[in-house]
Amino acid sequence: MISLNSIIFNGMDATRIDVQVQIATGLSKPDFHIIGLADRAVKESAERVSNALNALNIVLPAKRLTVNLSPADVEKSGAHFDLPILCGILCVLGVLPESELTKYVILGEVGLDGAILKTDSVLPASVWAKKNNMGIICPGCQGGEARLAGHDNIIAPNHVLELVNHFKGTVVLNAPESANMCDQDTIKIGDMSDVHGQDAAKRALEIAAAGGHAMLMVGPPGSGKTMLASRLATILPEMTPDEILETSTIYSIAGQLGKRGLIKNRPFRSVHHTASPVALAGGGSDARPGEISLAHNGILFLDELPEFNRATLEILRQPMEQGRIMISRARHNATYPARFQLIAAMNPCPCGHLGNAALSCSRAPRCAEAYQNKISGPLLDRIDLHVDVDAVNPWEMNPDDNATAETSASIRSRVVSARKRQIERQGCVNAQLDGAALDAVVMMNDEMKQFLNTAAEQMGMSARGYNRIKRIARTIADLRGAENVALSDLAEAISYRPINRGKYGVKA
């Protein structure tokens, strides 16, 4: 019996799979079976591998060929088992040396002609292999992806024949070069100076960036909500090396890393309102990550928030609090990180012109109340900053030549300084603070407590909203470079919280 190594991922957790190949005598024709709780894609590997062997002019003997994927009680899925199964058969037939291949983690799909084709999860497999002092054998087109983990012991053939010749010593497959930098590095997403007017919204966006806070913008069509959201990425700090590797790993598992290399810019995922719960949370038969995990360490932008299916939006509640999402299936659970920054935008009513007597419809304000009620109170309560974005004054669209709008670089410098203070003080951004950790960094005197308690009582604020006021105030103080939170910081923080469901012009 031959035993080689492959791998599967349950969320971000890796499990080594022992690919056991055995040939038994007693049959008059070849008989090929794959066992070990394999799904249809894995079972179809028998046909792909058989045809690839025929392309190499290798004929299976008239014996029973059994492939066992161990542990047998773990569900196996994906076509990446093709290559380790094929290598195991070649070891049994004496074509490849088992003693050498057992030092590698092997994954890759095999074509009918013996070509080794692209598969998912090469980057996290390479990370796991390096951590466990093993090499990795992967498709040639993904050798650069495997190299991104800082791994040197990589064999990346484009064809099975190349792999055979490498171990026979007739061809040496050198470690591939790293893939090119991420395509996102060259994407032009504009600058904050492009946004005319909207000083209040820009201020709120700066606070959101500094503290990692969720934000909801409400305003008429064309007021610049989407433009503001897209500029948030330009004022956020650069990703740390750990964040880069973690985010790139998620994209690799989702099959979206491609040839782009590491994801070095913070993701900006703009989700259409027709997205399903599975698209947002992740799932499917192989429990792949969804949009909220693809936005990990970046921004999740939901435009036209009330147009989303309510059940879809409710999925956001748990990951917004916990920073991770669990996808439950009958046989297993997969957990993915989901520490994203939610930025949402909406019109105040279906026509978008609530409060404008010249443009609003005859059903106002009743239509606005029904429209806003599509979003649940618990979800709104989890959004730190609620900002009104009014229509832009036409005179602000053509500023004086001497008037210069603040650039993203200028705002970003303040955001970076504020975040640095937070990391040095408590090890995380303010949006993640709660309980005793929050109380320790927001020290209030009697006057401040009286002010906040009175405002909370009058606004009908929940305990969650109360703590969010303190978080926002702490971020405002950090932007000032202050050691302690001031009464003015609390006052500004309160201005970003909704009084009740009637905040946007509808009586509660």
Instruction: Report the SS3 class of residue 103.
Output: coil
Q: How far apart are CA 139 and CA 118, in angstroms?
A: 6
Q: How far apart are CA 150 and CA 77, in angstroms?
A: 27
Residue-wise burial string across 182-211, b where 16 or more C-beta atoms lie within 10 A, e elsewhere = bebeeeeeebbbebbbbeebbbbbbbbbbb
DSSP structural state of residue 405: P
List the chain pLDDT tens, one digit each, 508 residues: 999 999 999 888 899 999 999 998 866 678 899 999 998 889 999 999 999 999 999 988 888 899 999 999 888 888 999 999 999 999 999 999 999 999 999 999 999 999 999 999 999 999 999 999 999 999 999 998 999 888 989 999 999 999 999 999 887 787 676 654 444 444 557 889 888 888 999 999 999 999 999 999 999 888 889 999 999 999 999 999 999 999 999 999 998 886 667 899 999 999 999 999 999 999 877 788 999 999 999 999 999 999 999 999 999 999 999 999 998 776 668 899 999 999 999 998 887 667 665 566 766 667 778 888 889 999 999 999 999 998 887 767 766 654 567 899 999 999 999 999 999 999 999 999 988 999 999 999 999 999 999 999 999 899 999 999 999 999 999 999 999 999 999 999 999 998 654 444 443 3
Domains identified in the chain and CATH numbers: 2-168 (3.30.230.10), 185-394+410-494 (3.40.50.300)
Residue-wise burial string across 469-496, b where 16 or more C-beta atoms lie within 10 A, e elsewhere = bbbbbbbbbbbeeeeebeeebbebbbeb
Q: How far apart are CA 293 and CA 284, in angstroms?
A: 14
In a 13 Å sphere around the CA of 474, the CA atoms on its Cβ side amount to: 31
Instruction: Give yes or no for a contact between 6 and 84, defined as CB atoms under 8 angstroms apart.
Output: yes
Phi, psi of 249 (to 5 degrees): -65, -40
H-assigned helices in 216-334 = 225-231, 241-253, 277-281, 291-294, 310-314, 317-322
pLDDT of the residue at 278: 92
pLDDT of the residue at 501: 43
pLDDT of the residue at 62: 86
pLDDT of the residue at 2: 93
